[in-house]
Amino acid sequence: MQSYAPAFVPTPERVAALDRLGDEIALLSAHLDAASARLLELIREFDSRGGWNSDFRSCAAWLSWRVGLDPGAARERVRVARALGTLPLLADALARGELSYAKVRALTRVATPETEARLLGVGRAGTAAHVERIVRGWRCVDRRAEARETALRHRRRGLRVSQEEDGMVVVRGRLEPVVGALLIQALAAAREALYQRARVAEGEDRCGNVSAETPSMAQRQADALALLAETALHQGLDPGTPGERYQVVVHVDASALADPEQPGQSVLEDGARVSAETSQRLACDASRVVMRHDEDGRVVEIGARTRTIPPALRRALAHRDRGCRFPGCGGRFAEGHHLRHWAHGGPTTLSNLALLCRRHHRSVHEEGFQVARGPDGMLAFRWPDGRPLPDVPAPAAVPADPVATLRANHEAQGLRLTARTGLPGWLGEPLDVVWAIDVLHPLAQGARPALDHSTLGG
């Protein structure tokens, strides 16, 4: 005979105690959401003022280092903080504890100043799961509209070149955004190259003649386009092998390489001067060719090209360091750095090497940051003023009763939170995502075929 356990019937006292416990959880969660709003506001201000730019790659990298966030979570905090800067309704709802951080994080993926009022209603009416499903549907419509716009732009691309009676060539065209951005950057680089050439020419002209009229921006653009065309034809539209394409040649005297204070050349292949510190950085992990000159400057001996760090040692270095060793970085694409430069007698050994990304390699050689290996084999970094730069900063001081402090701060700000502040208006009815998107999204007309409950988790 099968037996059944008696049903559990809670007493009124137990029900009341559990209700109080549930209210306490909801109330503290509302306080934490309100505190999250303040945290995001501080992150947004810190980011906009460049507080992280003390040799960190980004605000997210600084957050990961300073407060111990996972890099992905740090990037998401920065993204949400930036988005809330243009979404005051969502920011205010979070600050009042009316929306959870989870809801706001989802809504900021699709919200714009024009649509945030509608989406705020979604956040207040539904659960976090509802919000996620609405956002997925919203993004489906956005992607479909974006795909239509991208296809339209692609069809409208074109370039027309015609010649007028006086021989002038007229260029008119419409480029896709990415191609247009590429052209704009190339023209800017070409203008800068022409500007540098003009400066050199003016420096060599000692006759005191008044220079010609300064060309207009349109004229400089035309000259830059000509330089781009000449360069492309000169290269035969072939960028060459990767090894040659990305090679930078620096000529530096041994004396200047060993001591930046000593006289001696430190120039690029085209004659442009670079600092001896830059030469030291480039020489840390590069190919090296030693050339000897006589008193008249003629080359009398050229040594074979060798790698500063041999391939086998480079592999061991990459295996040991696993990326840039600068605190808070960890970038995978890194260069070998000699802790004591080989020009100063430092050996090319594993113990005298460390991986640094290009940004932080420059920081150490040219911006005053210091790094050394201690007796325990650990790397010690310092700021340019000598202060230690720890791998993991000391945690912030926490009050003895952080919850009471949080509540007191919110009460001092006039914020009145209850256990029902963040409670959604949902009454248990099923969610029709397709209908909701049709009603809410300004571009949803005709999007119904793109949406179905299976793809939206319904």
- Return the domain boundaries, the chain: 13-152+422-450, 250-389
Q: Give the least confident one: 21-35, 60-74, 199-213.
A: 199-213
Residue 9, Cβ neighbours under 10 Å: how many? 6
Q: How far is CA 397 from CA 35, 394, 401, 410, in A?
A: 17, 9, 12, 19
Percent of the chain, pLDDT > 70? 81
What mean pLDDT do residues 320-330 have?
Answer: 89
What gap in Å lies between CA 263 and CA 257, rounded to an integer? 10
Question: Is residue 347 over pLDDT 60?
Answer: yes
Distance CA 177, CA 419 (A): 49
> Residue 8 above 70 pLDDT?
no
Q: Considering only CA atoms, which of 376, 372, 375, 406 is closest in space to residue 389?
A: 372
pLDDT reading at 116 higher than 90: yes
Question: What is the pLDDT, as a whole number, of residue 208?
Answer: 47
Instruction: List pLDDT tens digits, range 419-436.
Output: 888 888 887 788 888 888
Q: What tokens were used for 58?
A: 């980004």
What is the tens place of the pLDDT at every residue in 41-94? 999 999 999 998 877 888 999 999 998 889 889 999 999 999 999 999 999 999
- Mean pLDDT, rounded, of the chain: 81
Query: Which position has the higher pLDDT, 350 or 241?
Result: 350
Percent of the chain predicted with pLDDT > 90: 26
Q: Is the confidence at residue 187, as pLDDT, over 80?
A: yes
Lowest mean pLDDT among 269-273, 289-293, 379-383, 401-405: 269-273
Q: Which residue has the tokens 């209850």?
A: 418
Do the strands 353-357 and 250-252 form a parallel or antiparallel pair, or are they unpaired?
unpaired
Spatial separation of the C-alpha atoms in residues 176 and 185, rounded to whole Å = 14
Please give the structure tokens belonging to residue 294. 């006589």
More confident residue, 238 or 389: 389
Name, of 79-93, 159-173, 305-319, 341-355, the range with top average pLDDT. 79-93
